[in-house]
Structure 1
Amino acid sequence: MVADVVVAGGGPSGWALASACARRGLAVTLVAPGHRWRATYGLWADEVSVLPPGSRWVTTRVRGGGLVLPRAYAVLDNDSVLAACAHPGIEVVRARVTALTATSAALTTGEVCHGMVFDATGARRGGAEQTAYGVVVEEQHEAVFMDWTPPPGHIDGPATFLYAVPLPDGRMLLEETCLAGAPGLGFAELRDRLHARVGEVTGPVERVRFPVDVPPPPQRGRGAVPFGAAAGLVHPATGFSVADAFRLAPAVADTIGRGRRAVRRVIWPWRARLVYRLRRRGLATLLNLTTAEHEEFFDLFFALPARHQRAYLSGRADPAGTAAAMAALFRAAPPHLRRKMTAP
């Protein structure tokens, strides 16, 4: 099986890349075991322009701490985005990969796909991870991006927050989240905290676990080119990566004819690598905060001007904006938080 591009992984990142390549006339093989996205994916409402035409989403205003955030939030209608990514130039193979090289992907079916190979199978290992336990409910609740108020009876222990967002089908996802832990909090504890916070809710369950500190791959790597979460696109302060994957996919597709090294530079230009280092500094701060300090820290962050919030949360290749946001937060922080922010 020979194609111009082989994409391993059928999540949003894999489909974003496969779709962008196919729309440029490249023959694409996408390898994925399933045909649906079961997780909940969100991005900021001012980023939805990166999605393919025909995509749908639900937009809402969300609260962070005690403030309504200046940026609206969007939750994807997965089926519509997946359908919008479809293209006749994409051959979908229902299988798992057993081995990847720069130019071949061996499958569980015994087949081997040949072409420029991209690994969009997700991130698996890291020193810090985000974990979450959520329940999809029929009842409506206030939309909340991060509510760091400790659940009743859970004052001590690692900090967690409530994430509550409306879904495109009219239901709501209520999710207790450990933003970053080494390791992240377990599902049983997160479930208990969610029920302590909102009551004994029942419905379809969503479990989340992924690393938030995957570093950029080397520019001169010799294997398959990582993309999406596998390439370290996950933001350590939110866990987001979907918008960046859809934003990057067209530029990657345009660069494929120049070879793997050029593609790797497009995914991780030097400015993005500088931002990654700054964000890792921010992650180190989060891992050092106490439960009470998490609430205080994010209340200060969400009180920053919108330009600083946008730069830190979405400016993946904006080191000046990221640094300015971090400096503004440092100036607003009391001495005990400043010590955490500068600790080695």
Structure 2
Amino acid sequence: MCSVLIYKRRPTKLAAEHSARQTACPRKATRLQAVADRLTAEASLEATIHTNQIIRDGDFESSLVAEQASKRDPEQPSLASVLDAFNPATTTVDVCVVGCGPAGLALAAELGANGVSVALIGHDVPFVNNYGVWKDEFKDLGLEGTLDREWEDAMCYFGEGREVRVGRGYGRVCRRRLRDLLLQRCKHNGVRFRAGELTRIGEADSGAEFVTLTLADRTTVRTRLVTLAAGAAAGKFLQYEETAPTVAAQTAYGIEVEVEGYEDAYDPSSMLFMDFRRHHSGTWQGAAHRLVPGEHPVAGEGLWGTQREVPSFLYAMPVAPGRVFLEETCLVAKPALPFATLKRRLLRRLHAMGVTRIIEEEWSYIPVGGPLPLGSQTATAFGAAANLVHPATGYSIARSMREAPGLARDVAAVLRRRLPVRATAAAVWDSLWPAEKRRQAAFHVFGMELLAKMDLSATNAFFSTFFRLPDFYWRGFLASSLTSAQLIAFALLTFVLAPTRIQLALMRHLITDPAGSYLIRHYLGIALLSLTNSDFLCNTSVL
């Protein structure tokens, strides 16, 4: 009887233990799964950060990007010959501006004008890129004297026989005049210069009043604020929001040429802003200007086989009789459209126009879109380094020139408060990227992601609609001057005027694409909740 009783009790105990294990195992499995999910998410985030920076650095075109940046111009004086030298061993400054391009020089000059002591650090190199701008924008900035060529109008083609006159003057910036003007402003306002390459930004604790920078030659620099203005490559020193679409790229292959017959194909008194016609496909020599709408050699409008083709367009500035700057441009793509493809298309276009001699080549690579910088970090930035490049157009120089004075005044005001480094940087970021501007940027990124998914036919339809909008809206969109509310009105007008297929594409993009949710989060303010609570690690790679 006793054995029977024991026999009956043992299974009961085993069953209880088994039940406990069964209860515990799901909890343990859940915890393990949560840990695995977190590690996977962190690995995915790190991979995204790494990928974004690779794209900012030029990705597979980095060698040609470096070649373009290394060009020389003996007509442009060295920075060291114009500006007084900065000796970091004996001097501490209010602001170190790292980068000597248009954005860096403009901000340094404006900071100096506001009584801030400024050290300009970077490579002593000339301006080498061609800059095209809207005349009215540069006139408003008092920079019309830097233009070396002007056109009273700009024209576009969105298919054979579909010419659009923009009705807005355009100009080419003389890079020598612009650099000389900015250099003289820097000199007048006491900006000092030291050639060097930034390799590390030191950590600053909550109460630190200075941050220490380390240069490639191991020189250290103490400053109250560091502002990176060395282009998108400076992103390796910055921390970004986590939930944005990845960075895309605008690429362009340009040449200055002596050309015969340009005036037969285009009006030489106007600037050619966009020509999406497929003269690079199926068009024989000299026949570009004789094509009849609907009779392109490649299936009517020339759209045969373009459903999977990344669109590109011809951009042209006639600079003198028989001499033209021509550029084959891909507005935005993921991944970037290779320079080799753009060069092939441009040379085929020129074959259809009749080019005699190529004078100079140019490779333009502009990272666009992607995440915005966080406001809770030691370093600040300006220009392309701060994502001031318009994601849907690639424009940046006019915006940097326009925003430099206001930002400099805000920086000067913040420095007078004698705040710690991180608090100073946070106030500067809030001036540069307040919530309203972050909403605007999210809208622009949404538009960029939409353009990156369009084929040539849809692209032509979209831009035909775009330039039918009232001037206030399309000009404001290109200039990044529309408020977030005005951008909604812009979107509604575009939707009303667009053909049905573009309307459907817009709705589908808003509902199903990550850029749609990114836009909605910023407009609702949700994304801003994490802007000061990120776990990003400070990257100290070589710039």
| Residue 128 (str. 1) matches residue 248 (str. 2) | yes
RMSD of aligned alpha carbons: 2.3
Q: Report the more deviating stretch, 263-272 or 197-206.
A: 197-206
Identity of aligned residues (%): 31
Unaligned runs of at least 5 residues, structure 2: 1-87, 158-162, 205-210, 236-245, 283-302, 415-423, 513-543
Q: What pairs up with 1:1-344 in 2 under 5 angstroms?
A: 1=88, 2-48=92-138, 49-50=140-141, 55-60=146-151, 61-65=153-157, 66-86=163-183, 87-88=186-187, 89-101=190-202, 103-115=211-223, 116-124=225-233, 126-139=246-259, 142=268, 143-153=271-281, 156=306, 157-166=309-318, 172-199=324-351, 202-220=358-376, 222-256=377-411, 257-258=413-414, 259-316=424-481, 318-343=483-508, 344=512
Kindly tell me: are residues 42 and 170 of structure 1, through their superposed partners in 2, closer, same or farther at Cα, counting changes over 3 Å? Answer: farther
| Structure number with larger C-alpha Rg | 2
CA distances 1:78-118 after superposition (whole Å, capped 9, x unpaired): 11111111222111222222223573332223322222110
CA distances 1:225-244 after superposition (whole Å, capped 9, x unpaired): 02111111111221001111
SS at 1:70 equivalent: coil
Kindly tell me: are residues 167 and 3 of structure 1, through their superposed partners in 2, closer, same or farther at Cα, counting changes over 3 Å? Answer: farther
SS at 1:202 equivalent: strand
Kindly tell me: are residues 56 and 219 of structure 1, through their superposed partners in 2, closer, same or farther at Cα, counting changes over 3 Å? Answer: same
CA contact (8 A) 1:33 1:94 kept: yes
TM-score by length of 1: 0.92
Amino acid at match of 1:300: T
Higher helix share: 2
- Distance (whole Å) between structure 1 residues aligned to residue 95 and residue 433 of structure 2: 19
SS at 2:358 equivalent: coil
Amino acid at match of 1:211: P
> Residue 289 of structure 2 corresponds to which residue in structure 1?
none
- Distance (whole Å) between structure 2 residues aligned to residue 114 and residue 247 of structure 1: 29
TM-score by length of 2: 0.60
CA contact (8 A) 1:22 1:90 kept: yes
Kindly tell me: are residues 286 and 182 of structure 1, through their superposed partners in 2, closer, same or farther at Cα, counting changes over 3 Å? Answer: same
SS at 1:13 equivalent: helix
Amino acid at match of 1:127: V
CA distances 1:98-155 after superposition (whole Å, capped 9, x unpaired): 2235733322233222221101111147531111100012446642111111233275
CA contact (8 A) 1:104 1:117 kept: no
Q: Report the more deviating stretch, 94-103 or 83-92.
A: 94-103
- Distance (whole Å) between structure 1 residues aligned to residue 504 and residue 249 of structure 2: 24
SS at 2:478 equivalent: helix
CA contact (8 A) 2:134 2:168 kept: yes
Offset, 1:63: 0.8
Unaligned runs of at least 5 residues, structure 1: none
Offset, 1:17: 0.6
- Distance (whole Å) between structure 2 residues aligned to residue 171 and residue 152 of structure 1: 20
SS at 2:460 equivalent: helix
